[in-house]
């Protein structure tokens, strides 16, 4: 082995540091079609030749059936269906907004992000006549605060946030957000909260009786006080592995999205706190830059097919806002899939707060830096 | 005649310069396309505003720089400096003896030891960081072996441990290179002149390896300072470092202008440190 040499100065190190930060976001591939430029709403044809169109989708990994691209390609008779993945809404936004044309036709993002994309003028309005399967949706799913009437987004899954806990290890089952914010002595340092800003704030806002969409400075300041008081009693902030922490017994109660609470385990249960919670929705949207809009509508219509749509409930344990699909699903007792749409609708739909959203970024930074 | 002899070398040197340029061009292209252009973009964002729903609105403002001076962000900068400095210091204290011992080994053991130092780099970084959770968590390996209930995870100290573990090899290797290069006769001469082992180390070995020390310190400090994965995974998001702020502002708040301004501050701190390092290395 030859001797390892290092230069004394570190241009490469500086380069790497600068580069990593500089290219934080990058776009996808672009697709072309003979149609060319943006098509206005009225111009979409119900009988367009889909064999000339190909689709690029971006979605969370594992959120749709693995064989979706091949099956959709065959069923819709489109030229090609390609699927790409994003790990969070934020990376999806970076993908979709960083360049004029991201090359993406259909994107899966949460409701408030669909709203933000729409307000930036990046979304194609939904043409209901091209999606007959919209009729399968629960009536409630067409009345969601961020997009009443599904004008630019189609809901794919929905759910809420609550407390997931170990029924065999807690002395009294939690009923309130305060059980996490001010844990009793036996649960001290055995609770976790989420770190993503809107969900970090949610328990405090709800415990104080405020809206999860509050942009009132005083309310946010009060929530901050409550979160800071809670910090020393938390095990940690965790968005991804809280289920494992419950299984191992390292945590007794965690703030959790319903679909992420491992209720299939014997002693793990989920409760909606009495102060109420949110209603989150993950949606499908069509980009204005898409040159394959007819195929994009056809794909959404295909996904709303009860047989396809029920896959999400059966495989990822997320409720789908599709009545026909949910009726096909065998709901095991105690499963979170049993939560009824009406109950879900008691939750407050998270909406994008525009300029006020930075208040929540600041809040989460403040909570993270203070001890 | 005279003028001819004078002009003769000119084409050759021009040719040599051209040749150098041709050979340098891939590196230059890399620098321009992948470093200077993105850097210029980042710098240009610092004077613009965040759009209502994120992104950049091209209206001039100095507000981003004013926001940098907010005690919240200055505190983050201070925390990051402190964590990175502590990591670097411990890495030096652990790395120097390690490198020293490796440099004294017979050559085949030397190779084995160096491979052992580099080996962890062959495994995915995230996986190695997660491994610490298995070791340190409440019901984890350390507590179960010791039969204790210690709280080892999700503290600032855990972040230092994670950074140290990840970047210690970057300290050992330049130190090894510096120590290995030393002429053993210098130490023999020092011993012959009556210096004790410690005096020889203090007066001969250490001063001659200062450039290696400085390089190692920069190699550890730079990635520690900007790190955002370890504070999140091992610090449980309870501590923010500059890297986390950049990440959060870029991706979560979609505030590219402010994220760029924080990036600029981060780069400025590193450039100052690099200049100081270069200056110290020249004097050493």
Q: What is the ipTM metric for this complex?
A: 0.80
Of A14, A248, A368, the CB nearest to B139: A248
Please tell me which residue of chain A has the smallest CA distance to B267: A18
* A193 and A273 inside one domain: yes
| Residue A169 to residue A250: CA distance in whole angstroms | 11
Average pLDDT over chain A, rounded to an integer: 86
**pTM, 2 dp:** 0.80
- Residue B189 C-alpha, separation from nearest chain A C-alpha, in angstroms: 25
Distance of CA B263 to the CA centre of its chain: 15
Of B34, B173, B248, the CB nearest to A365: B248
Q: Chain A partners of B251 at a C-beta cutoff of 8 Å?
A: 24, 88, 90-91, 93-94
| Beta bridge partners of residue A154, listed in sequence order | A284
| Residue A48 to residue A26: CA distance in whole angstroms | 32
* A67 and A150 inside one domain: yes
Q: How confident is residue B272, by pLDDT bands cut at 50, 70 and 90?
A: very high
Please tell me which residue of chain A has the smallest CA distance to B118: A4
Of B177, B226, B238, the CB nearest to A6: B177
Among A112, A115, A368, most B C-beta atoms within 10 A, so best to mutate, is A368
Residue B94 is assigned to a structural domain of this protein: yes
pLDDT digits (tens, 9 = 90+) for B44-92: 999 999 887 777 889 999 999 999 999 999 999 999 999 999 999 999 9
pLDDT of residue B138: 83
Domain with residue B217: its CATH number is 1.10.3720.10
Q: Nearest 5°: CA angle at A324, between A322 and A329?
A: 90
pLDDT digits (tens, 9 = 90+) for A146-178: 999 999 999 999 999 999 999 999 999 999 999
Kindly tell me if the per-residue pLDDT of A7 is higher than 60: no
Q: Do B218 and A13 touch (CB under 8 A)?
A: yes
Lowest mean pLDDT among A7-11, A75-79, A203-207, B254-258: A7-11
Distance of CA B116 to the CA centre of its chain: 21
* A204 and A214 inside one domain: yes
What token pair was written down for A170? 């807690």
Of B38, B42, B253, the CB nearest to A358: B253
* A180 and A266 inside one domain: yes
C-alpha distances in Å from residue B19, one per residue of A213, B26, B30, B32, B232: 63, 13, 18, 19, 48
| Residue A124 to residue A284: CA distance in whole angstroms | 11
Q: Do A15 and B31 touch (CB under 8 A)?
A: yes
Q: Do B236 and A249 touch (CB under 8 A)?
A: no
Q: Do A236 and B211 touch (CB under 8 A)?
A: no
Q: Nearest 5°: CA angle at B252, between A97 and A115?
A: 55
Residue A49 is assigned to a structural domain of this protein: no
Q: Do B250 and A94 touch (CB under 8 A)?
A: yes
Lowest mean pLDDT among A73-87, A136-150, A323-337, B259-273: A323-337
Of B55, B240, B259, the CB nearest to A369: B240
Beta-carbon contacts of B235 under 8 Å, excluding residues fewer than 6 positions away, are: B154, B155, B156, B158, B159
Beta-carbon contacts of A176 under 8 Å, excluding residues fewer than 6 positions away, are: A207, A273, A274, A275
Beta-carbon contacts of B145 under 8 Å, excluding residues fewer than 6 positions away, are: none
Q: Chain A partners of B72 at a C-beta cutoff of 8 Å?
A: 362, 365-366, 369
**What number of other Cβ atoms are within 10 A of residue A338's Cβ?**
11
* A232 and A361 inside one domain: yes
Look up tokens 């707060």; give the residue.
Answer: A353
Q: How confident is residue A39, by pLDDT bands cut at 50, 70 and 90?
A: very low
Among A7, A10, A93, most B C-beta atoms within 10 A, so best to mutate, is A10
Q: B102 or A100: whose pLDDT is higher? A: B102
Among B24, B42, B52, most A C-beta atoms within 10 A, so best to mutate, is B52
* A179 and A213 inside one domain: yes
- Residue B165 C-alpha, separation from nearest chain A C-alpha, in angstroms: 19
Q: Chain A partners of B244 at a C-beta cutoff of 8 Å?
A: 368
**Is B210 in CB contact (< 8 Å) with chain A?**
no
Q: A294 or A34: whose pLDDT is higher? A: A294
pLDDT of residue A48: 80
* A240 and A363 inside one domain: yes
* A259 and A325 inside one domain: no
Domain with residue A204: its CATH number is 3.40.190.10
3-state helix, strand, coil split of chain A in percent (to 5) is: 40, 15, 40
**Is B63 in CB contact (< 8 Å) with chain A?**
no
Q: Chain A partners of B38 at a C-beta cutoff of 8 Å?
A: 18-19, 22-23
Residue B34 is assigned to a structural domain of this protein: no
Q: Do A21 and B266 touch (CB under 8 A)?
A: yes
Helix (H, G, I), strand (E, B), or coil: what is residue A137?
A: strand
Kindly tell me if the per-residue pLDDT of A41 is higher than 60: no
Domain total in chain A = 2
**Mean pLDDT, range A279-307, rounded to an integer:** 96
Q: Chain B partners of A14 at a C-beta cutoff of 8 Å?
A: 222, 267, 270-271, 274
Please tell me which residue of chain A has the smallest CA distance to B53: A354
Helix (H, G, I), strand (E, B), or coil: what is residue B210?
A: helix
Burial status of residue B253 (CB atoms within 10 A of its CB: 0-12, 13-18, 19 or more): buried
Contact A229, A183 (CB under 8 A): no
Q: How confident is residue B151, by pLDDT bands cut at 50, 70 and 90?
A: confident
**What number of other Cβ atoms are within 10 A of residue A32's Cβ?**
11
Range of the structural domain that residue A132 is part of: 54-158+280-347
| Residue B70 to residue B110: CA distance in whole angstroms | 50
Kindly tell me if the per-residue pLDDT of A20 is higher than 70: no
Length of chain B as a residue count: 284
**Is B138 in CB contact (< 8 Å) with chain A?**
yes
**Is B162 in CB contact (< 8 Å) with chain A?**
no
* A302 and A215 inside one domain: no
Residue A13 is assigned to a structural domain of this protein: no
Longest dimension (CA), chain A: 71
**Is B117 in CB contact (< 8 Å) with chain A?**
no
**Is B81 in CB contact (< 8 Å) with chain A?**
no
How many interchain CB pairs under 8 A, A with B?
161
Residue B216 is assigned to a structural domain of this protein: yes
Burial status of residue B135 (CB atoms within 10 A of its CB: 0-12, 13-18, 19 or more): middle
Among B237, B246, B270, most A C-beta atoms within 10 A, so best to mutate, is B237
pLDDT of residue A46: 75
Q: Do B236 and A366 touch (CB under 8 A)?
A: no
| Residue A58 to residue A73: CA distance in whole angstroms | 16
pLDDT of residue A264: 85
C-alpha distances in Å from residue A323, one per residue of A306, B227, B259: 8, 46, 43
Residue B270 is assigned to a structural domain of this protein: yes
Q: Do B239 and A354 touch (CB under 8 A)?
A: no
Contact B170, A251 (CB under 8 A): no
Q: Do A237 and B223 touch (CB under 8 A)?
A: no
Range of the structural domain that residue B108 is part of: 62-283
* A212 and A267 inside one domain: yes
| Residue B106 to residue B141: CA distance in whole angstroms | 36
Of B35, B236, B247, the CB nearest to A18: B35
Cβ under 8 Å to A: B residues 118-137: 137
Q: Chain B partners of A90 at a C-beta cutoff of 8 Å?
A: 251-252, 254
| Residue A43 to residue A32: CA distance in whole angstroms | 18
pLDDT digits (tens, 9 = 90+) for A212-226: 999 999 999 999 999
Nearest to A63 by CA among A313, A327, A339, A280: A313
* A174 and A240 inside one domain: yes
Q: Chain A partners of B226 at a C-beta cutoff of 8 Å?
A: 17, 20-21
Domain total in chain B = 1
Contact A31, A6 (CB under 8 A): no
Look up tokens 């004077």; give the residue.
Answer: B47
Please tell me which residue of chain B has the smallest CA distance to A117: B53
Nearest to B211 by CA among A249, A52, A7, A151: A7
Residue B28 is assigned to a structural domain of this protein: no
Q: Chain A partners of B266 at a C-beta cutoff of 8 Å?
A: 17, 21
Helix (H, G, I), strand (E, B), or coil: what is residue A23?
A: coil
Q: Chain B partners of A352 at a C-beta cutoff of 8 Å?
A: 53
Please tell me which residue of chain A has the smallest CA distance to B45: A22
| Residue B173 to residue B171: CA distance in whole angstroms | 6
Residue A193 is assigned to a structural domain of this protein: yes
Kindly tell me if the per-residue pLDDT of A195 is higher than 60: yes
* A170 and A234 inside one domain: yes
Structure letter (DSSP) for residue B120: G
Contact B245, A365 (CB under 8 A): yes
Contact A233, A182 (CB under 8 A): yes
């Amino acid at each position: 082995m030859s001797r390892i040499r290092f230069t004394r100065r570190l241009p490469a190190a500086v380069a790497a540091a600068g580069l990593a930060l500089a290219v934080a976001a990058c776009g996808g591939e672009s697709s072309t079609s003979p149609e060319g430029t943006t098509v206005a709403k009225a111009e979409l044809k119900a009988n367009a030749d889909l064999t000339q169109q190909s689709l690029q989708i971006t979605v969370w990994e594992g959120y749709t059936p693995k064989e979706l691209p091949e099956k959709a390609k065959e069923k819709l008779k489109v030229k090609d269906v390609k699927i790409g993945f994003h790990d969070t809404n934020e990376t999806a936004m970076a993908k979709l907004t960083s360049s004029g044309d991201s090359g993406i036709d259909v994107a899966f993002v949460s409701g408030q992000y669909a709203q933000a994309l729409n307000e930036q003028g990046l979304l194609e309005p939904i043409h209901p006549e091209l999606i007959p399967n919209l009729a399968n949706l629960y009536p409630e799913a067409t009345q969601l605060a961020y997009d009443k009437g599904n004008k630019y987004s189609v809901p794919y899954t929905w759910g809420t946030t609550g407390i997931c806990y170990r029924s065999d290890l807690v002395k009294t089952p939690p009923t309130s957000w305060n059980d996490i914010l001010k844990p009793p002595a036996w649960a001290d340092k055995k609770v976790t909260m989420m770190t993503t800003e809107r969900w970090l704030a949610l328990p405090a806002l709800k415990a104080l009786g405020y809206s999860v969409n509050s942009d009132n400075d005083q309310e946010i300041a009060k929530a901050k006080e409550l979160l800071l008081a809670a910090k020393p009693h938390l095990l940690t902030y965790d968005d991804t592995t809280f289920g494992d922490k419950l299984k191992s017994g390292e945590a007794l109660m965690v703030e959790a999205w319903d679909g992420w609470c491992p209720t299939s385990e014997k002693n793990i249960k989920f409760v909606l706190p009495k102060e109420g919670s949110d209603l989150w929705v993950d949606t499908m949207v069509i980009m204005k830059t898409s040159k394959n809009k007819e195929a994009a509508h056809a794909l959404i219509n295909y996904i709303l097919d009860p047989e396809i749509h029920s896959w999400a409930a059966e495989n990822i344990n997320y409720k789908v806002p599709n009545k026909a699909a949910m009726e096909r699903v065998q709901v095991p007792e105690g499963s979170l899939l049993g939560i009824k749409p009406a109950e879900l609708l008691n939750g407050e739909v998270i909406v994008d707060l525009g300029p006020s959203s930075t208040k929540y970024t600041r809040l989460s930074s403040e909570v993270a830096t203070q001890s | 005649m005279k003028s001819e002899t004078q002009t003769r070398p000119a084409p050759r040197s021009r040719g040599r310069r051209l040749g150098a340029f041709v050979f340098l061009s891939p590196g230059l292209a890399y620098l321009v396309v992948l470093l200077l252009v993105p850097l210029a973009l980042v710098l240009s964002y610092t004077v613009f505003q965040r759009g209502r729903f994120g992104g950049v609105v091209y209206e001039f403002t100095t507000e981003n720089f004013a926001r940098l001076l907010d005690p919240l962000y200055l505190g983050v900068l201070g925390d990051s400096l402190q964590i990175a400095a502590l990591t670097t210091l411990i890495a030096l204290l652990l790395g120097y003896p390690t490198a020293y011992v490796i440099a004294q080994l017979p050559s085949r053991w030397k190779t084995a030891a160096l491979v052992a130092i580099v080996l962890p780099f062959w495994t995915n970084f995230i996986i190695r960081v997660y491994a610490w959770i298995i070791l340190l968590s409440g019901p984890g390996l350390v507590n179960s072996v010791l039969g204790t209930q210690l709280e080892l995870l999700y503290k600032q100290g855990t972040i230092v441990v994670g950074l140290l573990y990840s970047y210690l090899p970057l300290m050992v290797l330049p130190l090894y290179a510096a120590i290995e290069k030393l002429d053993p006769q210098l130490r023999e001469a020092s011993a012959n002149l009556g210096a004790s082992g410690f005096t020889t180390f203090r007066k001969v070995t250490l001063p001659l390896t200062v450039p290696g020390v400085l390089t190692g310190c920069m190699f550890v400090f730079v990635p520690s300072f900007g790190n955002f994965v370890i504070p999140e995974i091992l610090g449980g998001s309870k501590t923010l470092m500059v890297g986390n702020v950049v990440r959060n502002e870029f991706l979560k708040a979609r505030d590219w202008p402010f994220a760029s301004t924080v990036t600029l501050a981060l780069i400025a701190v590193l450039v100052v440190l690099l200049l100081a390092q270069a200056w110290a290395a020249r004097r050493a």
